[in-house]
Amino acid sequence: MNPYFETASGLARAIRNGRLTSQEATEAHLERIARLNGPINALVLVDRAGAMKAARAADRAVARAGATLGPLHGVPITIKEAFDVAGLRTTSSHPPLKDNVAAADATLVARLRAAGAVILGKTNVPELCADFQTDSPLFGLTRNPWDGERTAGGSTGGGGAAVAARLSPLELGSDIGGSVRNPAHFNGIFSLKPTEWRVPGHGHVPDLPGVTRAVRYMGTFGPLARSIGDLELALRIVAGPDGHEAEAAPVPVGATPRLVAGDLRIAVLESNPLVTVSADTARVVQATARLLAKAGAKVKRAQPEGLDWMRSWEDWSDLFQYTIQALQPSAVRERRASKIGSSDPSARSVARAARLEMAAFFAVLDRRDRAIRQCESFLESYDAWLMPVMPDAAFRHQSPRQPLAIDGVPHPYFFAGTAYNHLANFTGQPSIVLPCGSSRDGLPIGLQLTGRRWGEAKLLAVARVLEKLLPPCPLPPAFA
């Protein structure tokens, strides 16, 4: 067997059953990284010595009679560079942190280690995880393994490229505006954005080390992988409060139900009023809806009654801007307030939030409550809501200052790139991305399934049904 073509679950079974050692699996991944990582720049830190030491320890445990083996025992994985890994640098691609070495593991890294995972290294991110391309001022550009001229997404772009290129079977990422979902979509893999506060973020940057915690809304932390089974395995390892963040609730994930297509009621959104999707994306949405319907699911084009897409985007963007500007100097914020008349919705949002007006902030939270009620009520009638992740397949590398063109139509960059994935962050609902088709250029196109808050178990069951109807997770030709 080629270990790097296996899923994390498959590797764990092989190691547990003695068909493969952790050292063999780890060495195979390290060899592949050394051979293939260079052109795509997915991993920016490889801890060969630490990984092989952990793999040898994992093999000794397998050989010991009565040893307790975790669900990821001996499995090599990667970690988004923004998470603390003890003894390794954590910079979040922010130049002032270029020499920052983590003293301890982030909560989720510690949980993955306790489950037996072997950490191969860390993957590239844009500065402070604030872009849906990955071009780091410290580590350079990450390229899409399907086409090096195109983005791998962001901010978990390095992780998405690593999993797609079979440099890693499993990645730990984070998402406040699509950052585990758009890399999955662009690279042809799977990802899970859990319910807000399902998974704690202690040891993730931002927030900056030693600075007041400001990221308290909409930020989530979840896995990227090559199967729904791996997403579920990882979620059950990392979920639950850790005592550091009061918002994290002790809500059990619960058992995953067994579902078949005939059990399912699926709402479908092909395009929203903010940005019309590309013809390729619309075709994949339509084909996936037909696939589900042919298998017996009840499929209907629908969206929450009264949902104001522009209002929800503005409120999501404003809440995000309140978060990232809260600790910035007043002089910096005042300069941004002058952009209130911009034609770019993102610039207007920056300007609105720059004054940090508490009445406006609480009004955003009030409207957020309303949007949550609308979407939760809508999903009482459906098992999941199927929609695009991004308006198009992976675009060519470009400056964020330039418009993003969808089928030749230009849109403000940040606005277009968050037009579809913002809503699940704003409502805090879980969302799973599956690779569902491809563009005329052969680039992957993923779609997202969104479910009710705290409903990951059911959402995973729905996603399993769709996964069985789709072809296997695609492999970029250059990495076969």
pLDDT of residue 67: 83
Segment 61-112, tens digit of pLDDT? 999 977 899 999 999 999 999 999 999 999 999 999 999 999 999 999 999 9
User: In the structure encoding, which two tokens stand for residue 28, read together?
Assistant: 């195979």
* 388-402 per-position pLDDT tens digit: 999 999 999 999 999
Condensed to tens digits (0 to 9), the pLDDT of residues 408-426 reads 999 999 999 999 999 999 9
Split at pLDDT 50, 70, 90, the class of 1 is confident
Q: In what order do the strands lie in the sheet with 118-123?
A: 43-46, 118-123, 76-80, 170-175, 220-225, 190-193, 431-438, 444-450, 384-388, 265-268, 298-301
Mean pLDDT of the chain: 97
CA 160 to chain centre: 8
Tell me whether strands 298-301 and 265-268 are parallel, antiparallel or unpaired.
parallel
Q: How far apart are CA 289 and CA 299, in angstroms?
A: 7
For residues 245, 313, 268 and 464, what is the CA-based torsion angle, rounded to 10 degrees? -20
- Concatenating the DSSP letter of every residue in 439-456 gives -TTS-EEEEEEE--TT-H
Instruction: Tell me the C-alpha distance between 435 and 443, whole Å.
Output: 10
The pLDDT of residue 338 is above 90: no
Q: Enter the tokens of residue 142.
A: 């990450």
The DSSP secondary-structure symbol of 262 reads G
Model pLDDT, residue 384? 98
pLDDT value of residue 65: 79
User: What's the pTM value of the predicted model, to 2 decimals?
Assistant: 0.97
Q: How many whole angstroms separate alpha carbon 55 and alpha carbon 26?
A: 7
Say what the pLDDT of residue 185 is.
Answer: 98
Q: Can you state the angle between helices 456-469 and 228-238, rounded to 10 degrees?
A: 160
Q: What is the pLDDT of residues 362-411, one digit of tens each?
A: 999 999 999 999 999 999 999 999 999 999 999 999 999 999 999 999 99
pLDDT range class, residue 233, cuts 50, 70, 90: very high
The string of DSSP codes covering 274-293 is: SSPPPHHHHHHHHHHHHHHH
pLDDT at residue 334 is higher than 90: no
Residue 188 CA to residue 203 CA, distance in Å, equals: 28
Domain residue limits, the chain: 3-302+382-479
pLDDT per position as a tens digit, 176-187: 999 999 999 999
pLDDT tens digit sequence for 129-158? 999 999 999 999 999 999 999 999 999 999
In this predicted structure, which of 63-67, 177-181, 242-246, 342-346 has the lowest mean pLDDT?
A: 63-67
Cα-to-chain-centroid distance, residue 44: 18
349 contact partners, CB below 8 Å, separation of at least 6: 314, 317, 318, 320, 321
Q: Which CATH code is given to the segment(s) 3-302+382-479?
A: 3.90.1300.10
* CB of 425 closer than 8 Å to CB of 218: yes
Sequence-separated (6 or more) residues with CB below 8 Å from residue 196: 217, 218, 219, 220, 425, 428, 453
Q: Are 254 and 457 in contact (CB under 8 A)?
A: yes
Number of alpha carbons in the 13 Å side-chain half-sphere of residue 429: 28
47 near 121, Cβ under 8 Å? Answer: yes
Catalytic positions are 80, 155, 179
Q: 79-88, 154-163, 325-334: which range is least confident on average? A: 325-334
pLDDT tier at 168, thresholds 50, 70, 90: very high
Give pLDDT tens digits for 267-293. 999 999 999 999 999 999 999 999 999
Q: What proportion of the chain, given as a percentage, has pLDDT over 70?
A: 100
Residue 3 has pLDDT above 90, yes or no: yes
Q: What is the mean pLDDT of residues 321-347?
A: 91
